[in-house]
Amino acid sequence: MDGLAWRQFKAILRKDIVMELRTREMVTSMGLYAILTMVVYQVALSEAGASLDVRLVMPGLIWVAFIFMSLLGLNRSFVHEKDQGCIEALLLAPIDRPVIFFSKFTGNLLFLLVVEVLSLPVFSFLFLQEQQGIANPVWMVGLVLLGASIGISGVGTLLATISVNTSGRDIMLAVLFVPLMYPLLRAAVGATFAAVIGGPASAALFWGWMAWVAAFDVIMLLVAFALYEFVIGA
């Protein structure tokens, strides 16, 4: 990447970060959404009894929260651009389309990771106090978060660009996004489970699932990247 593209990339990314730092709109709404989801989980698990080992369902629960949370954030990140005419300005500027994709992708990834990292301790504070903690080193959970968030942001950036131009915006994003994310979600839950529960075979299991996550990321990012130019120009 030459110097110009890099500077453009930084400029768009900085614009998104500065706007977020001023309004704190995305992180607050996504974080609140995550906490609300946890309240709903409390209701959902309220009749399950004390014998329930929350760690068994925790990997699934956190990914449910994260996938819907990311839907919210992805939508937000483009509704602004669309409603205030920023997209047109970006397209008029002599910026390569791939640069737009990567800067939006990086911004979305950044916000998503921030909220995920903030909400995980809250989750374990609320649900895992009487349980054993995470069996394997915490960095393993961090690795799943990073790997899955890359895939979520990559495909999400493309689909949010599409859905912001449709009549059903948020619901359209969910309809397109959730099924496409299924393989990644499944692998992320598997890897998180292996990291949380531990045991002798858990390392092999963990890396097996992480290989799926990596494969999904590579394929989906390449395809999303290749398609972005057409989608944003339409």
Partner 1 sequence: MKRRPIAEVMLALGGLITTAAFFMAFLWAPATVYPDGRINFSQKIFYFHVPVAEASFLVFFFTAFYGVRFLMTKDRRYDVMARVATEVTLFFVLLTMATGILWTRVEWGVWWQWEPRLTTYFIMTLLVIGYFVLRNSVEDDEKRATYAAAFGILAFIDAPISFFITRWVESIHPVVLAGGESSGLEPPMLITFIIAQVGMLMLGYAFYQMRLREEELHERLEALKISIGG
User: Under the rule (CB under 8 A), what is the footprint of partner 1?
Assistant: 155, 158-159, 162, 165-168, 172, 175-176, 179-180, 182-183, 219-220, 223-224, 227, 230-231, 234
Judged by CB, which is closer to partner 1: 115, or 158? 158
Nearest CA-CA partner of 155 in 186, 179, 188: 179
CB of 59 to partner 1, least distance (A): 16
CB of 228 to partner 1, least distance (A): 9
CB of 174 to partner 1, least distance (A): 10
Cβ within 8 Å of residue 152, ≥6 positions away: 66, 67, 70, 112, 181, 184
Judged by CB, which is closer to partner 1: 125, or 182? 182
CA distance 227 to 157: 11
How many C-beta atoms surround the C-beta of residue 22 within 10 A?
8
Judged by CB, which is closer to partner 1: 6, or 182? 182
Nearest CA-CA partner of 160 in 111, 219, 101: 101
Nearest CA-CA partner of 134 in 185, 58, 189, 67: 58
Residue 17, phi-psi category: left (phi > 0), alpha (psi -120 to 50), beta (remainder): alpha
Judged by CB, which is closer to partner 1: 79, or 175? 175
CB of 48 to partner 1, least distance (A): 20
Judged by CB, which is closer to partner 1: 172, or 195? 172
CB of 17 to partner 1, least distance (A): 28
Locus of tokens 């409603």: 83
